[in-house]
Amino acid sequence: MNDAPTVGFEKDVGSRTTIRVIGHSNLKPILSNPNNPVVGSSQENSENVVIAWLYKTNIYKDFAYTAVLNFSQVYRNVNFFTQTPEMMKANNQRFWTETGITRNQAQTWLTTGWHALLLAIDVCSHITVYGMVDDEYCRDNPNSSVPYHYYNNNNNQSGKIKKECEYYMKSERKLHGGHLFVTEKFIFGRWARNYNITFRHPEWSKKNYSRSSIDTPFMKLFRQKHPQNSTSNETDNFWGKKTSLQDSVNSYKAESNGDFMVVWRGR
């Protein structure tokens, strides 16, 4: 995802990138690096690049769309794709379905990982996720020194390595702005059973993710401040129709199927 490299980390992540998912707001800083792993390195150029829209924007006037159009003409061996507005809407709707609140109510924007996993759900019959901790890991390991990224930890301008759990919990305990890493991971655990997802290194703990209440730090804070928005087993889906959580989970592929634009398909 984003600018995560393979060169130098082959033992852990392999040496090939078939699909790279990039959050649209991350594209500009990534492409400003002449050695970026998207198209800037002959050793690890990505075969397919998918641009995910992390929050509402006018796609066709956004820098990311213009940049992709330009790069697609230069790097014709790379397939470039962008989400359609319909796909972006479906991914946002999925957050509402899972939590009972909209992304705007949560004042958050979805992570690149959220979009990448939904893309995998859309195209894969079995998914194995490596290197992702579960929603309880940082609660149980508050002093973990594991860095947020596995790369670029020696080039941090501040001189301080961003720690994964410290960053996750700081973001999770805010009611506005930033990512809801822990809440998303709870939802990923819920998806695991329905979409044949396995988590490796570390293995995820066995617990009942299918229960209706999401007891992550953010959701607890949100319910305290907005008790009228408490979640339940039943939520309104996109068409205003009452549906069970299970039905909503099973309907995702039908809602999002085919919603990618091909900017350029390499030869």
Q: Model confidence over 106-140: pLDDT tens digits?
A: 999 899 999 999 999 999 999 999 999 999 999 99
DSSP assignment letter at 264: E
Q: Evaluate if residue 220 carries a pLDDT over 70.
A: yes
The secondary element (H helix, E strand) that includes residue 129 is: strand 127-130
User: What's the pLDDT score for residue 250?
Assistant: 42
Give the Cα separation of 23 and 100 in Å (integer).
Answer: 24
Give the Cα separation of 8 and 230 in Å (integer).
Answer: 46
Task: Give the CA distances from residue 146 to residues 128, 143, 181, 225, 230, in Å, rounded to whole numbers and listed in that order.
Answer: 21, 9, 15, 32, 33
Nearest CA among 103, 100, 132 for reference residue 197: 132
* Of residues 189 and 266, more confidently modeled: 189
Nearest CA among 195, 216, 191 for reference residue 137: 216
Q: Evaluate if residue 40 carries a pLDDT over 80.
A: no
Contact 245, 212 (CB under 8 A): yes
Q: pLDDT confidence of 43, banded at 50, 70, 90?
A: confident
User: What's the pLDDT score for residue 245?
Assistant: 34
Mean predicted lDDT score pLDDT of the chain: 82
Fill in the amino acid letter for 207.
Answer: K
Contact 209, 189 (CB under 8 A): yes
Q: pLDDT confidence of 173, banded at 50, 70, 90?
A: very high
DSSP percent split of the chain into helix, strand, coil, nearest 5: 40, 15, 45
User: What's the pLDDT score for residue 163?
Assistant: 95
Among the listed ranges 42-46, 102-106, 140-144, 260-264, which one has the minimum average pLDDT value? Answer: 260-264
Contact 199, 193 (CB under 8 A): no
Q: pLDDT confidence of 230, banded at 50, 70, 90?
A: low
User: What's the pLDDT score for residue 69?
Assistant: 84
Q: Which two tokens stand for residue 152?
A: 């670029």
> Residue written as tokens 């800037």?
40
Q: pLDDT confidence of 87, banded at 50, 70, 90?
A: confident
Residue 136's contacts (CB-CB under 8 Å, 6 or more residues apart) are 205, 207
Residue 170 main-chain phi, psi, to 5 deg: -65, -45
> Residue written as tokens 């919990």?
169
Q: pLDDT confidence of 235, banded at 50, 70, 90?
A: very low
Among the listed ranges 53-57, 69-73, 84-88, 214-218, which one has the minimum average pLDDT value? Answer: 53-57
DSSP assignment letter at 163: B
Fill in the amino acid letter for 18.
Answer: T
Give the start-to-end residue ranges of the domains of the chain: 10-264
Q: Which two tokens stand for residue 232?
A: 């339940």
User: What's the pLDDT score for residue 253?
Assistant: 41
pLDDT in tens, 48-65: 999 887 766 677 777 888
